[in-house]
Amino acid sequence: MKARELAVEGAYTFVPEVYPDERGLFVSPFRQEAFTAVVGHPLFPVRQTNHSLSARGVVRGVHYTVTPPGTAKYVYCARGRSLDIIVDVRVGSPTYGHWDAVELDPGEFRAVYFPVGVGHAFVALEDDTVMSYMLSGEYVPSHELAVSALDPALGLPVPDDPEPLLSERDRVAPDLATARAAGTLPDYAACREAESRLWPPAQGPAPRHGEG
């Protein structure tokens, strides 16, 4: 499995080996040993899995979770094609306000790891795009917040053809600066602390690379 660190601190993309034959293919989008070797700790205990189906032009996000409790994610595209976008909304992060984008599809089965506290958005580039998520926490509506994926200051690579289709919640989401002024963005140190608490004490994460 190949891996690459993204422009947002703590986020990574993984590309598994795909085994095609005359019947179709076989692939493992997640492998614990490979993940741990790169990130420095195992994947979180999975509390919930999500599955979304989107038409071409649908934009979901930028969504993030109140921290604490915070939520980490591992995401891949099971059908169709998407542009997956990670945005650092953690105040105090060394990459605050930065973003990165990765194209996901069921050819490479590239996956993205989102650490606790960062923002997640994606654009469906084809009809019937299916996104699959593993999450460290269960969905609690009052904990789920958003900033605008169309915030010009962020400059996210959202195509304008077709016209983006957003939910009402995402259409009225504040821009990043407004959310920060309102005090609704997560704190970087709190996010790191919340992430360290995802594992039972006997299975706590090893130090990240470069940390003693």
The residues annotated as belonging to the active site are 63, 133
Cβ-count burial 160-183 (b if 16+ within 10 Å, e if not): eeeebbbeeebeebbebeebbeee
CA 211 to chain centre: 23
Question: Distance between CA 208 and CA 38 in Å, rounded?
Answer: 9
Q: How many CB atoms lie within 10 A of CB 144?
A: 13
Burial (CB count <10 Å: 0-12, 13-18, 19+), residue 51: exposed
Structure tokens at 11: 């986020």
Burial (CB count <10 Å: 0-12, 13-18, 19+), residue 206: exposed
